[in-house]
Structure 1
């Protein structure tokens, strides 16, 4: 296991502070190690063996499923299948592309910071949207900031080519990832299911 690039300077800082306090106060400084452990586990980056099934639409995030159903595409309002994943502070927070394809759109939207487990977070919270032209059709993936997550990082630009399971972003401290799939896609997950980015098959093509 390694530390995600987005958290290396944060982890280095808190560990250095804890070590310095240990040198000064000895074992009396042990409470300072607790936040260090929490931050290290939050920014952990475990190795992933990406699901190689070309028909699979993969989870973009680690967490549990909080919505599965019909919804309108945030691009043009056309019918879509929506699957949402809530990421708690205990999940790995790297985001991965659900499909292979070309980025048709990559755009950030300003917004609020409601609890990401709530459905209204999909439309009202700060978020970053990417639209992928894939073999399955056009797939939209939205990184949604949460109550504590105030920074959404996306590294893909319009015109970029992406592989299924490729790491493309990160959200700090609890958040949500929404998938909008073509209406001919069939969900393979249900509410409450635990999923892993780049591994769990969320849906397939009918």
Structure 2
């Protein structure tokens, strides 16, 4: 095995969105270290943390129709019925919502909860409250997507937090994505909300640790009274 192969299998890949931040941190580290050695070591620690923050490890997504997987690494902070954001146009009736909070040490690459077509993307400017708070769903900056397939229609919302100042979305309306595909990223602490059909029974608990693209939130194919979509818009 070559040295390059060894390094690629040892180091976690870094998402390209992180490269500018890594370059800035490394450059400042060199400049500050030139004037005072202790600043170099402080800067080096910060640079390594930035690399860690923008890591993008491979994930193995379970393959089964109806599974809803976590869109984010983090901890389940809220579960229960909630009215989706108005800009998603999912109606005014409460849907089952599961919220995953990401702290600054979680991987922040977001992954699609289900396979389907992205039929709507809606961004809304807002505040930067603590993303763990329930009212963050209404007040904070956010970007929402609707993903549909032949059987189900769900919403997933990227919500900025106290530290987050930039929501990035990689996909466009009309694109078809698979479950576990990368669709976005939020910089430095945030939350992901998943809105599922009324009657959905989540298979997670508050405080549970989630792995994006791997942890199962719900199984829509194995539940009664779950609203079904008959076509993709």
TM-score (norm 1): 0.93
Map of 2:51 onto structure 1: 40
Correspondence 1:183 to 2:198 = yes
User: Residues 24-61 of structure 1, C-alpha deviation per residue, up to 9 Å, x if partnerless?
Assistant: 65566312212112211111111212222333100000
> 2:122: which partner in 1?
107
Q: How does 1:120-159 map to 2 (within 5 A)?
A: 120-159=135-174
Counterpart selection for 1:118 from 115, 118, 133: 133
Once superposed, which parts of structure 1, at least 4 consecutive aligned residues long, lie more than 6 Å away?
Answer: none
Which one of the candidate residues 199, 207, 217 is aligned to 1:192? 207
Q: In 2, distance between residues paired with 1:136 and 1:63?
A: 28
Which whole-Å CA distance do the structure 2 matches of 1:54 and 1:36 have between them?
A: 41
Secondary structure of the equivalent of 1:186?
A: coil
Whether contact under 8 Å (2:72, 2:102) holds in the other structure is: yes
Report 1 or 2 for greater relative contact order, CA contacts < 8 Å, sequence distance ≥ 6: 1
Asked if the contact 2:30–2:40 (Cα under 8 Å) also holds between the matched residues in 1, the reply is: no
In proportion to residue count, which structure has more strand?
1
- Structure 1 partner of 2:26: 15
RMSD, matched Cα: 1.7
In structure 2, the CA distance between the partners of 1:189 and 1:44, relative to structure 1 (3 Å rule), is: same
Report the CA distance shift for 1:70/1:24 in structure 2 as closer, same or farther (over 3 A). Answer: same
- In the alignment, the residues of structure 1 paired with residue 39 and residue 52 of structure 2 have an alpha-carbon distance, to the nearest angstrom, of 23
Structure 2: distance between partners of 1:19 and 1:153: 29
1:15 CA drift (Å): 2.1
TM-score (norm 2): 0.83
Count of residue correspondences: 206
